[in-house]
Amino acid sequence: MIDPMRDTPREDVPPAPDADEMPWPFAGRIDQIGTTRPGGDPLGERCIVIGRQAVERLSAAEAAMGVERSLDEPYVSNVYGWKRGNGMLNVATRWLLPHEPSDCRAADSSW
């Protein structure tokens, strides 16, 4: 899940790398990858279903910038500063369980 939080007061933005400076392993800007969550705000939360190898690439890209993402935890959420959005951006990963659909419908009901 990618959750852009626009217009966040500067004092609420964590001391983290800027989201637009991260070497994301995805094509395009991080706030535009995936799809809008079903029924969600088109400028709000986005969903993308990725496999373990893609999460490993994501973790490696974050590690290169000093940010840790555990591959052994079922849910990990990292928040980045986001100057272009005048706020911050949350990038969360969650294990997809065997009984869940392998698309963003699982994210819509389970986050």
| pLDDT of the chain, 111 residues: tens digit per residue | 889 988 888 888 888 899 999 999 998 899 888 888 666 666 678 888 899 999 999 999 999 999 999 999 999 999 999 999 899 999 999 998 888 887 776 555 444
Is 96 within 8 Å of 106 (Cβ atoms)? yes
Domain that holds residue 32: 2-110
The DSSP code sequence of 51-92 is -HHHHHHHHHHHHHTT----SSSSEEEEEEEETTTTEEEEEE
Predicted TM-score (pTM) of the model is: 0.84
**If phi over 0 gives left and psi between -120 and 50 gives alpha, with beta otherwise, what is residue 64?**
alpha
Could you give the 3-state DSSP secondary structure of residue 47? strand
Is 45 within 8 Å of 110 (Cβ atoms)? no
Domain count, the chain: 1
